[in-house]
Chains A and B, each alone.
Chain A
Amino acid sequence: MTPPMENQTLTVPPVPPPDQADPPGAHQRKGAVEGSATWSLTDRIGLAICWGLGLLFCAIAVAIVVYLMIQGIKFLRPEMLWTPAAAGFSETETGGFSDAFIGTMIVAGIGIALALPTGIAIAVWLVEYGRPATLARITESTIEAIAGIPSIVLALFGTVIFSNAALGFLSRSSEGVVFGRSFFAAGAMLSLVALPLIVASVREGLNSIPRHVREASYAVGKTKAATTRRILLPTCRPQVATGAMLGLGRIIGDTAIIVVLLGATQNFAPVEGIGFPLDYLRGAGTTLTNFVYEASPTGNLNQPQKAYAAAFVLLLMVLALNAAVDVVHRRARKVGTWSH
């Protein structure tokens, strides 16, 4: 793929005179790694610090994972995943955390279902259209601002929105007072947490497609919409997946919005009225992060063993997401890419 002709004429390596030539083998460098022997002292210290910090970081990450695994394997019983929490005096009597586990899945589902299409649409508009330029700039900074807002602030704002009488059907309400806490409310605000990550990732993907690829599609009479739909978005699949996974990770890891907008009850609290699944979504509930907080020594439940078990489940979910991203990327690499 590299143009073979252009670089050859420029660099002619100096041929050493025969008497000064190195002994055979001395020139066979293993890789092109530059030795640090000739560096100044400060550079060498800097390099050492980089190495040290890198190793330290790895050590911390490994320590967290290993510690949680040991604790998790020790305390996690599979039945915890399908036993709801119950009132009791000791850890053996209080059941499991099935409601929290399912609750995590629900907010993740709602959040990503809202954030993914929106995020892709925004990214496509920013990269492929982006006119008028002022509006594009405003959108960009808005997304960045959302990314920077602490989720507790989003949560507070969410209570204002979802306590609105017009949105009363999304949560419990009695005598005209809207409770404003439900899976719908929490999922909707959590989608805002995931949105910036998705937009950033998809934008990066679209920007990495060379301009001539788009033009090749236009040059056979395809519209911008058809090109985006059939060429650009399929090409960005790995970045879309990355964005979705990062977003999911943020959603299932968020606690503030859950506490404020989901009610943080220990069990599902469905609101009767419409029918089976929707009633649950209109009601309050909890998620694993909230359960871990409540079960930890600082929380109300004080069941540290179950806290570790739930944290371990959470960790497994995040690791599974990372593995999924890896698979998508590896599959994309098989298709190949263009030279720029």
Chain B
Amino acid sequence: MEPLTSPPPIRRLSTDDPEPVTEALPPVADGNGNAPRANGFTAAKRSIKAPQFSIRRMEIDRVSVHYADRAAVKEVSLPVRQGEVLSLIGPSGCGKTTLLRSLNRLTELTTSARLTGRILLDDIDIAAIEPTLLRRRVTMVFQQPNPFPMSVFDNIAYVLREQGSRRARKKTLEPAVHSALDRAGLFEEVKDNLDHPALKLSGGQQQRLCIARALAAEPEVLLLDEPCSALDPKSTQVIEDLIVRLRDDVAVVIVTHNLQQAYRIADHVAFMYLGDLVEYNSATALFGNPREQRTKEYVSGAFG
């Protein structure tokens, strides 16, 4: 038998020779002596206008959230204002979603979660507001489009009706349902198919239906948890336009992984890292001229 001269042809995944990583370009100052700009954000257009007004709706006051003994959010204080879009950014596990969920007390559904600090809604501590009432005033849209398995009309009507009741007839609810769909920019597309199952809509339409559902409760604050991450670029743009339009009627808080998106639609941006609020500033300032080193590294793509 011939001795083996070479190892048998087994294909392995190489671990010593990782694929080349595209490195972020260092921030470069332009010739006019302007501040160096974070990579990429000079090119992205910020077409939205500056907010016309801003009213303080919510006040996050030194809020910490612990899961068992792990701190997910540490002593974060932030204002939430109507008239502008607040974006929470940061790498995975930085606590931005937890912070968002604590704004309508959804964190309480997790038994191990403990919240300290205060969150005020129109100067009233939300801990003193009955949760179901609070969640009608501070509604939420999730990452995955999740319309309920019923017709488009019933998805909205469900929110308008009293708890589990079927009362309030279709006719009486019609104007409110139509207006909610209209505010979410969906009415024109579905007005002939209001009886169709909502789960047969396209992903982008489903997500706008979820926004319509959240708006149907006439909330003061709208929470969006990465609403576009499961959608294609075109639907994403439609929803981004919608969010910017909504900011005058409700205070909008959006969690996003997509820095470009935060830059495009947010008026204020809060950067969180490992549960800490690292930097809170207007979008142009935070992306263009970050104060903190970690912010600078994150928005330039050095980690994330």
Contact = CB atoms under 8 A, between A and B. Distances in A.
Interface of A: 1, 3-4, 210, 212-213, 215-223, 225-226, 229-231, 234-235, 334-340
B142 A215 contact: yes
A225 B144 CA distance: 23
Closest 7 A-B residue pairs measured CB to CB? Answer: A336-B199, A221-B136, A226-B164, A219-B140, A226-B163, A221-B135, A221-B132
Contacts of B229: 3
Interface in B148-192: 148-150, 158-159, 163-164
Contact of A221 (B109, B133, B164, B232): B133
B109 A218 contact: yes
B104 interface: yes
A218 B132 CA distance: 7
Contacts of B99: none
Given A225-B164, A229-B164, A235-B149, A219 B106 contact: yes
27 contacts: A1-B203, A1-B230, A212-B143, A213-B148, A215-B109, A216-B146, A216-B148, A217-B158, A218-B106, A219-B106, A219-B139, A219-B142, A221-B132, A221-B136, A221-B139, A221-B159, A223-B132, A223-B164, A235-B149, A335-B150, A336-B197, A336-B200, A337-B149, A337-B199, A338-B144, A338-B145, A339-B144
B104 A219 contact: yes
Contacts of A229: 164
Contacts, number: 94
Given A220-B159, A221-B217, A339-B144, 11 more contacts: A212-B143, A215-B140, A218-B135, A219-B104, A220-B135, A220-B214, A222-B164, A225-B163, A335-B200, A337-B199, A338-B145
B210 interface: yes
Contacts of A340: 144
Max chain B Cβ within 10 angstroms of own Cβ: one of A1, A219, A336, A340: A219
A190 B149 CA distance: 34
B268 interface: no
B37 interface: no
Contact of B144 (A4, A212, A219, A226): A212
A219 B164 contact: no
A303 to B, nearest CB: 51
A336 B132 CA distance: 28
Contacts of B109: 215, 218
A212 B163 contact: no
Given A1-B203, A212-B144, A335-B199, A219 B163 contact: no
Nearest to B150: A234
Contacts of B133: 221
Nearest to A231: B148
Contacts of B214: 219-220
Nearest to A131: B111
Contact of B197 (A210, A225, A335, A338): A335
A145 B106 CA distance: 36
Interface of B: 104, 106, 109, 132-136, 139-140, 142-146, 148-150, 158-159, 163-164, 197, 199-200, 203, 210, 213-214, 216-217, 223, 229-230, 232
A336 B149 contact: yes
B149 A335 contact: yes
A210 B144 CA distance: 10
B146 A213 contact: yes
Contacts of B148: 213, 216-217, 230-231
A339 B149 contact: no
B77 to A, nearest CB: 24
B279 to A, nearest CB: 27
A216 B210 contact: yes
Contacts of A220: 135-136, 139, 158-159, 213-214, 216-217
Contacts of A336: 149, 197, 199-200
A212 B206 CA distance: 14
Given A220-B135, A221-B133, A3 B149 contact: no
Contacts of B197: 334-336
A210 B56 CA distance: 34
Contacts of A222: 132, 158, 163-164
Contacts of A212: 142-144, 146
B84 to A, nearest CB: 22
Nearest to B156: A220
A213 B143 CA distance: 11
A223 to B, nearest CB: 6
B230 A3 contact: yes
Given A212-B146, A219-B140, A337-B149, A230 B217 contact: no
A217 B104 CA distance: 13
Nearest to B163: A226
Nearest to A133: B111
Nearest to A213: B146
Contacts of B200: 335-336
A332 B203 CA distance: 19
A337 B149 CA distance: 7
B146 A338 contact: yes
A10 to B, nearest CB: 9
Contacts of A231: 148-149, 158
Contacts of B149: 231, 234-235, 335-337
Nearest to B203: A1
Nearest to A340: B144
Nearest to B158: A230
A238 to B, nearest CB: 11
Contact of A223 (B134, B142, B163): B163
Contacts of B158: 217, 220, 222, 230-231
